[in-house]
A and B are shown apart, each in its own frame.
Chain A
Amino acid sequence: MARTSPVADWSVDFDVLDQGYVDDPFAIWDDLRQRCPIAHTDRRGSTWLPTRYEDVTAIAHDVDHFSSLEVAVIPFDGEEPEEPILPYGLPPISADPPLHTWTRRLLLPWFSHTRVDSYEAMTRDLCRSLLDGFADPGRADAAADYAQQIPVRVIAAILGVSDSHSDMFTGWVRDVLEFADDPERRARGVEGLINYFLAEIEHRKEQPGDDLLSMLLHLEVDGAPVEQSLVLGTAALVLIAGVDTTWSAIGSSLWHLATHRDDRRRLVADPGLMPFAVEELLRAYSPVTMARIVTKDVEFAHCPMKVGDKILMNFPAANRDPEAFENPDTVVLDRAVNRHVAFGSGIHRCAGSNLARMELRVALEEWLHRIPEFELAEGAEVTWAGGQVRGPRVLPVVFA
């Protein structure tokens, strides 16, 4: 069953859950950029969709008009409880300054360059064991058997929770991010995450470890412990933000390499290209769209934005804007000038960007080392998820 009704005019009635848009949004963005660079819809509430680099980054920097209190691209359609378990949402991503500022500082050191370097060996071993474990010789689902399995386990290690629950975590994160328009699935994901972390928090009150969750729990800010609901929200954020996103970037990159033989062979022949290739693949297939909510009426680029309107921060479209990138729809593995905003722009720059880059690089290095030649399986149906996070969910490939 289709999740959405057909769209006649993308400029006034867009729908990011339209399957055609999920599968191939690029031509739609090109069309909008030329005739209506900030599109509007009344589906799921009054919502704007900027498509130009200049507009997306300007909105990201204007925290005075555009708040992060509502960042969900697919809004929850049911009734919120009177006393929510997470009154602050998932800080810092769902917070504005000043709450944003200090909660973000709690997280950042866990994702610093030096800290991320220390996670690399574990990530590499994990990728190798996944490649060793492919059940059938010569074929695999590069999304489900590989990409999907990597970030969730790295994040579990950082949080200090068991990676034996990886499939459960992945299911909850998909419920919350990809199926938020289905009240049952969303509720299942939210309850699953909250109950799991509540139990883990109780455990760490008695027996703290050296993990991120223990640190959050035993930390004092201005002489007082951090409220438990903040710890819970931040822990849930780390899992939610660290799983679907990077997995999608790895999957999209493998899709590109499976379908572009020259790029694949070039990258295998010249591994020194990898740091540039990682940035270019992030640009061309940016997975993440976040939302903002308008807190003061404003006319932005001739669009009358009203309090309560939502803005979809279309970083993926910004990264395909010909005003900002030469030949934006071509992947140029060694692109020299690449100010892409796959990790956002401004004060909400993805706190885990160092980790995501490392995971993407290591996942590609290990895959190409083991499987330098691969392509889509004949007749295979690749399926994509979209909305908040875009990436392949089924990606059958064959190799020698």
Chain B
Amino acid sequence: MRIRVDPTKCQGHARCFALVPELFDIDDYGMSSVKDDGSVPPDLEERSRLAIANCPEFAIEEIAEGTP
């Protein structure tokens, strides 16, 4: 599983970081981005789905397999 944060949608609510700090970086302005290439280790998949489901800006999405 891989995920991404759409930088045009993120407004810095930081819900993703609170739920799965292992997967996200937040800059000084609150903007979130995925660590590395957004790969989610199997043991974090469930929590990463929580992060997707709790973003008020619908800014986090799963990347379909096979997408570079």
A interface with B by C-beta (< 8 Å): 57, 105, 108-109, 111-113, 275, 279, 336-341, 343, 345-347, 349, 353-354, 357
Of the candidates A108, A279, A338, A339, which one forms a contact with B30 in the assembled complex, judged by CB atoms under 8 Å apart? A108
List of B residues within 8 angstroms of A105 by Cβ: 29
List of B residues within 8 angstroms of A353 by Cβ: 12-14
Q: Does B26 contact A (CB under 8 A)?
A: yes
Q: Mark B6-50, 1 if CB is under 8 A from A, else 0.
A: 000001111101100000001111100000000000000000001
CB distance from B58 to the nearest CB of A (A): 8
Of the candidates A111, A336, A343, which one forms a contact with B13 in the assembled complex, judged by CB atoms under 8 Å apart? A343
- Whether A108 touches B18, Cβ cut-off 8 Å, given contacts A336-B50, A339-B53, A339-B55, is no
Contact present for A341 and B56 (CB under 8 Å): yes
- Whether A347 touches B11, Cβ cut-off 8 Å, given contacts A109-B29, A113-B17, is yes
- Whether A108 touches B12, Cβ cut-off 8 Å, given contacts A113-B26, A275-B18, A336-B50, is yes
Of the candidates A111, A113, A337, A345, which one forms a contact with B11 in the assembled complex, judged by CB atoms under 8 Å apart? A345
A357 to B57, CA, bound (A): 18
Main secondary structure of the interface of B (DSSP, over half): loop
- Whether A345 touches B17, Cβ cut-off 8 Å, given contacts A108-B30, A109-B28, A336-B50, is no
The chain A residue sitting closest to B10, CB to CB, is A349
A-B contact pairs, 18 of them (CB 8 A): A57-B56, A108-B12, A112-B27, A336-B50, A336-B53, A337-B50, A337-B53, A339-B53, A339-B54, A340-B56, A341-B56, A346-B11, A346-B57, A349-B11, A349-B13, A353-B12, A354-B14, A357-B18
Contact present for B12 and A349 (CB under 8 Å): yes
CB distance from B17 to the nearest CB of A (A): 7
The chain B residue sitting closest to A109, CB to CB, is B28
The 9 nearest A-B residue pairs measured at CB: A349-B11, A109-B28, A108-B29, A337-B53, A339-B56, A112-B28, A341-B56, A113-B26, A338-B54
B interface with A by C-beta (< 8 Å): 11-15, 17-18, 26-30, 50, 53-58
Of residues B17, B26, B56, B58, which shows the largest number of chain A Cβ atoms within 10 Å of its Cβ?
A: B56
A108 to B58, CA, bound (A): 21
Contact present for A108 and B53 (CB under 8 Å): no
Of residues B30, B55, B58, which shows the largest number of chain A Cβ atoms within 10 Å of its Cβ?
A: B30
List of B residues within 8 angstroms of A354 by Cβ: 14, 30
A113 to B16, CA, bound (A): 13
A346 to B54, CA, bound (A): 15
A275 to B19, CA, bound (A): 9
A105 to B12, CA, bound (A): 12
The chain B residue sitting closest to A354, CB to CB, is B14
List of B residues within 8 angstroms of A279 by Cβ: 15, 54
A212 to B47, CA, bound (A): 36
List of B residues within 8 angstroms of A338 by Cβ: 54
List of A residues within 8 angstroms of B54 by Cβ: 279, 337-339
Of the candidates A112, A113, A345, which one forms a contact with B57 in the assembled complex, judged by CB atoms under 8 Å apart? A345
List of B residues within 8 angstroms of A112 by Cβ: 26-30
A354 to B27, CA, bound (A): 13
A113 to B12, CA, bound (A): 10
CB distance from A219 to the nearest CB of B (A): 15
The chain A residue sitting closest to B11, CB to CB, is A349
Q: A337-B54, A347-B11 are in contact. List 16 more A-B contacts (CB 8 A).
A: A57-B56, A108-B12, A108-B28, A108-B29, A109-B29, A112-B29, A275-B18, A337-B50, A338-B54, A339-B53, A339-B55, A339-B56, A340-B56, A345-B11, A346-B11, A354-B30
The chain A residue sitting closest to B29, CB to CB, is A108
CB distance from A294 to the nearest CB of B (A): 22
A10 to B30, CA, bound (A): 39
CB distance from A33 to the nearest CB of B (A): 19
List of B residues within 8 angstroms of A337 by Cβ: 50, 53-54
CB distance from A2 to the nearest CB of B (A): 37
Of residues A57, A113, A279, A353, which shows the largest number of chain B Cβ atoms within 10 Å of its Cβ?
A: A113
List of A residues within 8 angstroms of B12 by Cβ: 108, 349, 353
List of B residues within 8 angstroms of A345 by Cβ: 11, 56-57
The chain B residue sitting closest to A353, CB to CB, is B13
List of A residues within 8 angstroms of B56 by Cβ: 57, 339-341, 345
